[in-house]
Amino acid sequence: MSAAVRENPADKYLRKERMPSIWCPGCGIGTTVNCFTRALDASGYDLEKVAVVSGIGCTGRVAGYLKLDSFHTTHGRAIPFATGLKLARPDLKVVVYSGDGDLSAIGGNHLIHAARRNADLLVVCVNNLTYGMTGGQVTPTTPQPAIASTTPYGAFEQSFNLPHLVASCGGVYVARWTAYHVRQIAKSMGEALQKKGFRFIEIIAPCPTLYLRRNKLGEGLDEMKFYQEKSVVMNGADTREVSLDFRDEIPVGKFVDIERPTLEEAMESQLSKALGAKYVPYSLPVKA
């Protein structure tokens, strides 16, 4: 009857000595990490063959908290580091886990070119609509007319529609969820881990300390209830129609799921066509 107390299923994927995390109460990043651990758990992958690369920022801390081979890179450069890692070690599953400021602003060019080249990466973008760690500045994803520390009278620039940006550049798997959709995130991450090519999952998450407080929108829990109320599942929708507006409906779902040759496959096929027998495909050095 007295079964032993079971271990938290997330524990074996975490560096427990670093807990509790630096994330604020009501922040959604931890929820997404929790979903990621469940997706990894369900996939049954060898954890020695999964690597996580993060940039800088609140979400950039994820690489430090996951007990996998992880890499905390320079600001905005998570995708180039990850592309290099994947090219040198094709046997690894490489996951880029970073925030909207890191991926779409400072690393915006890397994001579009990795999508264009179809680098074999899973990119998880936790979008909290602001720069969290540096003090709530406006990002390319901040909707008009939200208030940020650098736009005290309201943001006036048009914001990025990240799923459309990535889909139009050639991403093979594009989905968006909010931190409220935990089961869907876990399922989506599981699906995306199985696929090859540039896979992009955007997760809208609350930033209670900077974005919500500055815009007088309440706590993280209030924002989660807002997601519950305002999300509309639009699987397979045209990504042109899924832009985010301030306090308006949030289109979520899996928008794109296609197949096309990855960076490595395209390189192999072109080089073997051009060079014929002279071409020696890259392979991992065999351990003595």
Partner 1 sequence: MTTATAPAANKDAPKKEKKFRGVVTVNREHCKGCGFCVEFCPLECLDLEADYNAKGYHPPFLSQPEKCNGCDTCGLYCPDFAIYGYREKLDGSAA
Using CB under 8 A, pick the residue from 11, 241, 248, 259 that binds partner 1.
11
258 forms part of the interface with partner 1 (CB under 8 A): no
Q: Could you tell me the smallest distance in angstroms from the CB atom of residue 121 to partner 1? A: 24
Judged by beta carbon, residue 165 or residue 186, the one nearer partner 1 is 186
Whether omega before 261 lies within 30 degrees of 0, making that bond cis, reads: no
In the region spanning residues 185 to 244, those forming contacts with partner 1, defined by CB under 8 A, are 186, 219-221, 224-225
Q: What is the C-alpha separation between 172 and 261, in angstroms, rounded? A: 10
- Picking from 204, 167, 165, the residue whose alpha carbon sits closest to that of residue 185 is 204
Using CB under 8 A as the binding criterion, the count of chain residues that bind partner 1 stands at: 34
Which residue type does 30 have? G
Q: Could you tell me the smallest distance in angstroms from the CB atom of residue 176 to partner 1? A: 18
Which span sits near partner 1 by CB under 8 A: 1-9, 143-151, 160-168, 235-243? 1-9
Judged by beta carbon, residue 222 or residue 265, the one nearer partner 1 is 222
Using CB under 8 A, pick the residue from 89, 183, 240, 260 that binds partner 1.
183
Q: At what angle do helices 108-117 and 78-88 cross, to 10 degrees?
A: 30
Q: Could you tell me the smallest distance in angstroms from the CB atom of residue 41 to partner 1? A: 11
Distances (CA, A) of 86 to 115, 193, 243, 264: 14, 14, 31, 9
Q: Could you tell me the smallest distance in angstroms from the CB atom of residue 168 to partner 1? A: 32
**x/- letters, 14..53, toward partner 1 (CB under 8 A):** x----xxx-xxxxxxxxx-xxx--x---------------
Q: Could you tell me the smallest distance in angstroms from the CB atom of residue 34 to partner 1? A: 6
Rule CB under 8 A: which residues touch partner 1? Answer: 1, 3, 5-6, 8-11, 14, 19-21, 23-31, 33-35, 38, 180, 182-183, 186, 219-221, 224-225
